[in-house]
Chains A and B, each alone.
Chain A
Amino acid sequence: MGALLGVLPFLAYTTIFLMIPTLIVVVGAFVNGKGRPTLGNLSALAQPQIVSAFMNSLLLSAVTAVLGAVFGALLAYAVSTARQSGPLRRMITSVCGVLAQFGGVTLAFAFGATVGLQGFLTLWLQKVGINLAGSTWLYEPNKGLMLVYTYFQIPLMLIVFLPAVEGLRPQWREAAESLGGSTWDYWRHVGGPILAPSFIGAMLLLFTNAFSAYATAAALISQGSPIIPLQIGDTFSSEVILGQENVGKAMALGMVAIVAVVMTLYVVLERRTSRWLAR
């Protein structure tokens, strides 16, 4: 019993700063401004701007997850062929470690400097006759925002997927070859199937990552809130309409539900592959 006391500080801390907030969201979604139970928050989710925000979020997350997964996997494979503790490997892993975390403000400024109103690419393309400055393509969730999101999706893919690629034992390749397989045979029958669960799992992780992202869009978009995280952010600052005080919590709950489903799939897939790729 005394031993359990050792875990108490941790449990207390996480209860206050993690469990209670979660409970507040979950319970609050079903409670109205006066504290009475209601389903009004949930039905408020059917409002057009919220529905379209969910749709945009899902589309944005799905597309950037796929793009990030494909290019990130390619990059991961390329890096895996480099020397184990060589400079290239270290550099790329560090860069990706930073870029995966540094969404938000930095990214907004970086892309602003590239393709924003005064971005060098914008200015350069204007000389060639293409005018980007007029359009707001950068700020649209299914154009510019997608491009910006891949900027942290690809590095995240590398970090998550590289261990799986490195888990491919050379003996498998050599055995396949000695049995008469070509490079294509190897990837089709051995390498591909073995990596597939990890690949899909990583893609799911990328999905939740994009779905949950707030900072990048907040820094980039000044007009409107086309995605769910921004809608939630709005509930902090904008004036609250009577009867809609806890809609933000309902939206948050919706987000959690979607993310929880995806994360469960991810865990299931990971458990399967860890058996294969374990030492």
Chain B
Amino acid sequence: MSPTQMPVSDSVAGSEPGHGVAVTLFDLHRSYGPIRALDGLTLDIAPGEFVALLGPSGCGKTTVLRVLAGLEDADSGRVEVGGKDITSVPTNARDMGMVFQAYSLFPHMTVRQNVEFGLRLRRIPSTRRSTRVSEMLDLVELSDHADRYAHQLSGGQQQRVALARALAIAPQVLLLDEPLSALDAKVRVQLRDEIRRIQLEVGTTTLFVTHDQEEALAVADRVGVMRAGNLEQLASPHDLYARPATPFVADFVGLTNRLRATVDHERANLLGTSVPLLPGSVQRGAALVLIRPESIAVTADPDGRATVVTASFLGATGSLYAVTESGETVLAQIDNDAVATFNPGDKVSLVPRPNPALAVAAYADASLVAPD
């Protein structure tokens, strides 16, 4: 169905929140020669939900997005949007808005012309078009720049225009392919909050791909961590962080210590205390326990069994590296005003807090926890 045949509904002129549709990706497979980019991936996105796909490069997250957009074919599997099977539908009939990592604005068109491009293709009459374009530019706060060209805008501004352009057509689904990766750190943080704000206002179902875990946790309703073509875990940011399902997730999201301990009956003997374990942990024997820095309390103690290596001031918090008697290095989070009280060589006591941690088999090879 070409765009000119699509119903020019009132939703184009002013969409109400919560008008998103459900998206289902079912058992997608995609190989490039010997490389399996997608390995039986299944994902359900609820209407209006914001899902982030997170993972290292090569894990297949961009492939998922492109298959959903129709820019790539899956070897097998199904793509459903709003209950309809669109696997064989070409890109230009899928009614999806896409924001690319960079360079996607048409260089020979002004901001205004870029944003109204999709509307022109749909033969929207010019008065409605300009209303819509003004609406979109207000939404991304670039109304003053309507007659500028792409090369006259900063990276952040360009991405906002790209977002306006994608949303102008009131798409069923919004796709964002690492939209912030090419931007400066500060702009990144500002823009990701804006994207979330806009998405909540407009209510479009959104799929957001990134390799930056802080970004994913900050904006999404649910985050899917991907590895080697499939989802390791799909959960809310909080659950992903506090209850990682696999060592890979525990390591990829947030900082993690890996400490040796013995496991017995769903508890681990770690640093002299007994720590509860998450489901999915090893049941007994020698193990590596994955524990977050903020789950380790540090107290100055002349009889302590650990020695401070460095204490760093990070602004809002502080971090402390200490070496245990057994020679392991532990990273702990401390208050920012406690940093000055610790000097290298001081003796300290490290006590794990009673949060559940994840334990993996001790002989597990490094690849399971995939350090970068």
Which positions in A face B, CB cutoff 8 Å? Answer: 169, 171-172, 174-182, 185, 189-190, 193-194, 275-278
Contacts of B118 in A (CB 8 A): 179-180
Q: In B295-331, which residues have CB < 8 Å from any A CB?
A: none
How far, in angstroms, from A221 to B192 measured CA to CA in the complex? 70
Contacts of A189 in B (CB 8 A): 106, 117, 120
Tally inter-chain residue pairs, CB-CB below 8 A.
81
Q: In B161-187, which residues have CB < 8 Å from any A CB?
A: 162, 165-166, 169, 175
Q: Find out whether the CB atom of A276 lies under 8 angstroms from the CB atom of B108.
A: yes
Nearest opposing residue in chain A for B175, CB measure: A178
Q: Find out whether the CB atom of A180 lies under 8 angstroms from the CB atom of B100.
A: no
B2, B98, B121: the one within 8 Å of A174 (CB):
B98
How far, in angstroms, from A185 to B2 measured CA to CA in the complex? 12
The number of residues on chain B lying at the interface, defined by a beta carbon within 8 Å of a beta carbon of chain A, is 33
Q: In B58-76, which residues have CB < 8 Å from any A CB?
A: 69-71
Q: Find out whether the CB atom of A180 lies under 8 angstroms from the CB atom of B108.
A: no
Contacts of A175 in B (CB 8 A): 98, 100, 104-106, 162, 165
Known: A174-B98, A175-B98, A276-B151. A180 touches B3 (CB 8 A): yes
Known: A276-B107, A276-B151. A178 touches B117 (CB 8 A): no
CB distance from A73 to the nearest CB of B (A): 18
Which positions in B face A, CB cutoff 8 Å? Answer: 2-3, 69-71, 90-98, 100, 102-108, 117-118, 120-122, 151, 162, 165-166, 169, 175
Known: A193-B108, A276-B108. A179 touches B121 (CB 8 A): yes
Q: Find out whether the CB atom of A181 lies under 8 angstroms from the CB atom of B106.
A: no
Q: Find out whether the CB atom of B108 lies under 8 angstroms from the CB atom of A194.
A: yes
A-B contact pairs, 22 of them (CB 8 A): A169-B103, A171-B103, A171-B104, A174-B100, A174-B104, A177-B92, A178-B70, A178-B96, A178-B98, A178-B166, A179-B92, A179-B97, A179-B117, A180-B122, A181-B117, A182-B92, A189-B117, A189-B120, A193-B108, A194-B108, A276-B151, A277-B107
13 more contacts with CB within 8 A, not counting A175-B106, A194-B106, are A169-B104, A171-B102, A174-B98, A175-B104, A177-B90, A178-B92, A178-B94, A180-B2, A180-B92, A180-B95, A180-B118, A181-B92, A276-B107
Q: Find out whether the CB atom of A174 lies under 8 angstroms from the CB atom of B106.
A: no
A169, A180, A185, A276: the one within 8 Å of B169 (CB):
A180
CB distance from B15 to the nearest CB of A (A): 17
How far, in angstroms, from A234 to B248 measured CA to CA in the complex? 81
Known: A177-B71, A178-B97, A182-B92. A275 touches B117 (CB 8 A): no
